[in-house]
A and B are shown apart, each in its own frame.
Chain A
Amino acid sequence: MQITLNGQAHTLPAALSIAELLAQLGLTGKRVAVERNQEIVPRSAHASTVLAEGDHVEVVHAIGGG
């Protein structure tokens, strides 16, 4: 299954949940925020939100800035 992850094409082995995607990326428990098709996916919904073909997913974190 193809999604766009942080602007790049990304192949998933199956229809994963957000929580599973984060686990696959090694980001479980990290301070990140997730947006799916321009809608925030709250942390409490990561496990129940299943990705679909063509989804646009953004995973962001905090970095240094002024």
Chain B
Amino acid sequence: MTAQPFDKPLTLAGREYQSRLLIGTGKYKDLEETRVAIEASGAEIVTVAVRRTNIGQNPNEPNLLDVISPDKYTILPNTAGCFDAVEAVRTCRLARELLDGHDLVKLEVLADQKTLFPNVVETLKAAEELIKDGFKVMVYTSDDPIIARQLAQMGCVAVMPLAGLIGSGLGICNPYNLQIILEEATVPVLVDAGVGTASDAAIAMELGCEAVLMNSAIAHAQHPVLMAEAMKHAIIAGRQAFLAGRMPRKLYAQASSPLDGLIR
């Protein structure tokens, strides 16, 4: 008996995915390492950033989307580096043009460089504008349950609270807030940011997240490809543990072996 039949695929914006791990493509040594790590992770959705083309530099250098083909992966363009709603909306429109009308985006509007904490006021503004313009918005936000609720009510296709600050690797800093967000979730809730190692990803899944999005935990591991594979297993293990339902915690021991028939 395997646990698989008990689970359903992850559904995002009407599309089904077998993998519940979404990974970023930043901070790798080179495009080859990016490609191999993504493959090892089993991810089907990968995030990319949108930036100015370097004018005058070698136009024949390999392009990320040649390596990470949109035919094979769902490309999730992000608005990383945007600090207000106007910039974020502009970036999404460019991304949609870049990806031939593909309208799934990861919205993140940041508040400051030191924390990269989401600016929720601008995030709400941008989400509203993008949804009106036909985008399917997966939104990076704080672990504030009220804001998460508002973003879901507004029509975001997924709400993605941080587990810890972007790139911090601190793990799930406030599992209780996540629990509240998950308890009343009406759209998929994904942990985005903060995961440092495999156990963090497993904890996020055990809490009941639909999926986890990460970048640094893999790209900045000593061996990114090995960590990518570890994350794949952690996500599966965490999901299965969530579905299985953990035993209750008890203060005192309870013997696993029967006490009857002991030799005296």
Contact = CB atoms under 8 A, between A and B. Distances in A.
A14 interface: no
Nearest to A34: B97
Among B63, B97, B167, residue most surrounded by chain A Cβ atoms (within 10 Å): B97
Interface string B13-49: 0000000000011111000001000000000000111
Among B53, B90, B95, residue most surrounded by chain A Cβ atoms (within 10 Å): B53
Nearest to A5: B55
A33 B48 CA distance: 14
Among A25, A30, A63, residue most surrounded by chain B Cβ atoms (within 10 Å): A63
Interface string A22-35: 00011100111111
Contact of A35 (B51, B90, B214): B90
B97 A33 contact: yes
Interface stretch (B75-83, B238-246, B250-258): B75-83
B71 to A, nearest CB: 12
Contacts of A59: 52-53, 55
A1 interface: no
A15 interface: no
Given A61-B65, A65-B48, 6 more contacts: A27-B59, A33-B95, A33-B97, A35-B94, A64-B27, A66-B24
**Is chain B's binding surface mostly helix, strand, loop or mixed?**
mixed
Contact of B49 (A10, A43, A58, A63): A63
A66 B78 contact: yes
Interface residues of B, number: 41
Contacts of B215: 65-66
Contacts of A7: 52
A64 B48 contact: yes
B125 interface: no
A60 B80 contact: no
A10 B55 CA distance: 10
26 contacts: A6-B55, A7-B52, A25-B53, A25-B56, A25-B59, A26-B59, A33-B98, A35-B90, A38-B90, A40-B96, A43-B100, A59-B55, A60-B50, A60-B98, A61-B65, A62-B48, A62-B49, A62-B75, A62-B99, A64-B64, A65-B24, A65-B47, A65-B215, A66-B27, A66-B166, A66-B213
Interface of B: 24-28, 34, 47-53, 55-56, 59-60, 63-66, 75, 77-78, 80, 90, 93-100, 166-167, 193, 213-216
Interface of A: 5-8, 10, 25-27, 30-35, 38, 40, 42-43, 58-66
B103 to A, nearest CB: 13
A59 B80 CA distance: 17
A60 B90 contact: no
Given A26-B59, A32-B98, A33-B97, A63 B51 contact: yes
